[in-house]
Amino acid sequence: MSYNTKNYTEQGGEKTVIGGTLEIKEGASVTGLPSAPNQAASTATNVAGLKDDLNALLLKLKDTGLMKPDTWNVSVANVTTALSEDMTANQDKVESITIEDNVITVTVPVDGLIAYESSTPAQGTHKWVAILITTGLPAITAVKYNGSQLTSADADEAAAVGGQAGDIVMWLKCDEIVNQPKSFTLWSSGYPEATFTVVIAEPETEE
């Protein structure tokens, strides 16, 4: 008998790799596989209701891992409305905000920023810059940020600085992030948890 090395169990037995064919004989059983939560039979009486029920089923399949999840389509931008003179001065110094491979780069001269107190005193005094993160979803109340569910208050905060539905406003402590990039996660039903990193880049100086 020859052995097919495409199928093997790694040392310790914690991982088995199937590179060939896994055959389940009659009478055998496989346990522990993921299953989607129950979806009740639809009682919809119109097309819109049927669509909602189908979408609910698709989300359950994606969250369980039985269907490939959707891909995040995140974009970033500067805020369009400033709430104070100090904020205006700092936002005006932002040269660009870009995202590539989940890395958000904010180009701004940190030394030229004004340090001012947050409207939430516990956040302290820092060289604040606000950016808008567009999630690509119709509402951020369906999003978890670092594991915490966003609320209508978060949506209102984004709207106050010019954000639209689906936007998150992120306040950056540029005096800290310039030395230590900031990472955060986003999750929503039907989407995988994704990690993003914010870095501060100094503008290039002309020689």
Q: Tell whether 81 and 50 lie within a shared domain.
A: no
By percentage, how much of the chain surpasses pLDDT 70? 97
- In a shared domain, residues 126 and 43: no
Do 113 and 41 sit in the same domain of this protein?
A: no
Show which of 64, 86, 104 is a domain's final residue.
64
For the whole model, what pTM was predicted? 0.78
Residue 10 pLDDT exceeds 60: yes
Domain that holds residue 14: 7-64
Strand (E) positions, 36-124?
A: 75-78, 96-100, 103-107, 116-117
State which amino acid sits at residue 79. Answer: V
Q: Specify whether 28 is located in the same domain as 51.
A: yes
Do residue 94 and residue 181 come from a single domain? yes
Number of structural domains, the chain? 2
Indicate whether 206 belongs to any domain. Answer: no
On whether both 110 and 179 belong to a single domain, the answer is yes
Q: Residue 107 has which token pair?
A: 């180009």
- Residue after which a domain boundary falls, among 37, 64, 91: 64
Residues 119 and 179 in one domain: yes
CA distances from 96 to 5, 27, 77, 93, 203 (A): 52, 63, 8, 9, 9
Q: What is the pLDDT of residue 191?
A: 94
CA angle 36, 40, 42 (to 5 degrees): 125
Asked whether residue 1 is assigned to any structural domain, the reply reads no
pLDDT digits (tens, 9 = 90+) for 83-110: 999 999 999 999 999 999 999 999 999 9
Domain presence at residue 69: no
Q: What was the pLDDT predicted at 1?
A: 42
Same domain, 59 and 80: no
Please give the pLDDT value at position 36.
Answer: 75
